[in-house]
């Protein structure tokens, strides 16, 4: 399953990249939502090689995932690989400078089901593809607005 979104952000590309690689902030955000986050490796200065193990509840079942930064090309690209018992996913965040103070964020999420229940789950998302795409684009849009607010502050 492949989902993509694009947002323009009123901030320089270096600032946006720094916000995307502020992993401590993401860890705190996930923990506030009730997940247990363990950082397994810090990775290089640009984030490459950083690893996490995350446990959380979803639909009444405890889920466990492992995430690793697999690509980090400052200031243009960040790639994250996510694996679990049921799903493998790749997230790619690409930054394109539109002007010195404006950046385009392209987000790509590609997931592959490894089990029958996961395949059924993805099938239900495909049936509601428009709603799924709108929710994803809304989440990326909210994140872009947060980055703009932090830049203006």
Average pLDDT value over all residues in the chain: 94
Q: Which residues contact 120 (CB under 8 A, 6 or more apart)?
A: none
Q: What is the pLDDT of residue 27?
A: 94
Share of the chain above pLDDT 70, in %: 99
**Residue ranges of domains in the chain, CATH in brackets:** 2-152 (3.30.530.20)
pTM: 0.89
Q: How far is CA 11 from the centre of its chain?
A: 19
* pLDDT tens column, 17-64: 999 999 999 999 999 999 999 999 887 767 899 999 999 998 899 999
């Amino acid at each position: 399953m492949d989902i993509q979104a694009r947002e323009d952000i009123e901030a320089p590309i270096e600032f946006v990249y720094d916000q995307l690689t502020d992993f401590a902030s993401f860890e705190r955000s996930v923990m506030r939502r009730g997940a247990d986050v363990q950082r397994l490796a810090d990775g290089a200065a640009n984030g490459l090689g950083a690893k996490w193990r995350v446990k959380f509840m979803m639909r009444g079942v405890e889920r466990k995932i492992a995430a690793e930064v697999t690509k980090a090309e400052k200031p243009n690209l960040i790639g994250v690989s996510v694996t679990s018992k049921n799903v493998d996913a790749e997230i790619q965040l690409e930054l394109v400078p539109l002007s010195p103070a404006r950046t385009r964020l392209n987000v790509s999420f590609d997931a592959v089901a490894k089990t029958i229940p996961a395949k059924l789950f993805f099938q239900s998302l495909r049936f509601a593809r428009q709603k799924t795409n709108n929710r994803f684009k809304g989440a990326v849009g909210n994140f872009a607005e947060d980055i703009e607010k932090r830049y203006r502050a």
